[in-house]
Amino acid sequence: MPKKRTYIGIDPATKTGFALPGNSGFWDLKVKTEAKSLGRKAEPRHCRPGKLFVHLDELRASLGKPEDLDIVLVCEGAAAFTRGKAAVRLSHELRGAVQTWCWVNDVTYVEIEPQDLKKFASGKGNTPKEVMVEIARSKYKPDCANDDEADALHLLAWAQEHYQL
């Protein structure tokens, strides 16, 4: 019996957008600070890739038996990422976690640069985030929460329309 092809769109960031057919949203990977009143110790900055890995495991588990699935994960790239040093480091760490998760789970990894994603979604490579959210709301999900979820929805749509193995 052939495996069922399933696409996942991921926009990795502190708020990581995810989308798969019938389900989308975002995960907040913010590092928790110490809260003595709650008995909580501070998390190390490097915990975010691990949190992302756990979320991806949970998402994959929601899809069914691994042996029945052929998963293609499409991730937003960061070649033109020009924020501060800490943001660039986080970007690389999270993409590395996604790539490692794909390798461990025998998932095909595809990366799309932000300008190419914007051109796919809007026809222009320099579309503002707010417009990308409005396009996602009009095409895919009226209650799209933010630009992270919007990008994940656009990644999913790109994969469904264009990706062939």
Boundaries of every domain in the chain: 4-30+43-162
Kindly report which listed range (44-48, 64-68, 80-84, 148-152) carries the lowest average pLDDT score.
80-84
SS3 category, 162: helix
SS3 category, 100: helix
pTM of the model: 0.90
Q: What is the CA radius of gyration of the chain?
A: 16
Could you read off the pLDDT of 45-63 as tens digits, one per residue? 789 999 999 999 999 999 9
Residue type, 45: R
Query: Residue 112 phi/psi, 5° resolution?
Result: -120, 130
What fold is seen in the domain 4-30+43-162? Nucleotidyltransferase; domain 5 (3.30.420)
DSSP β-bridge partners for residue 18: 10, 25
DSSP β-bridge partners for residue 15: 28
Q: So what's the pLDDT on residue 20?
A: 96
Angle at alpha carbon of residue 130, lines to 125 and 135, rounded to 5°: 75
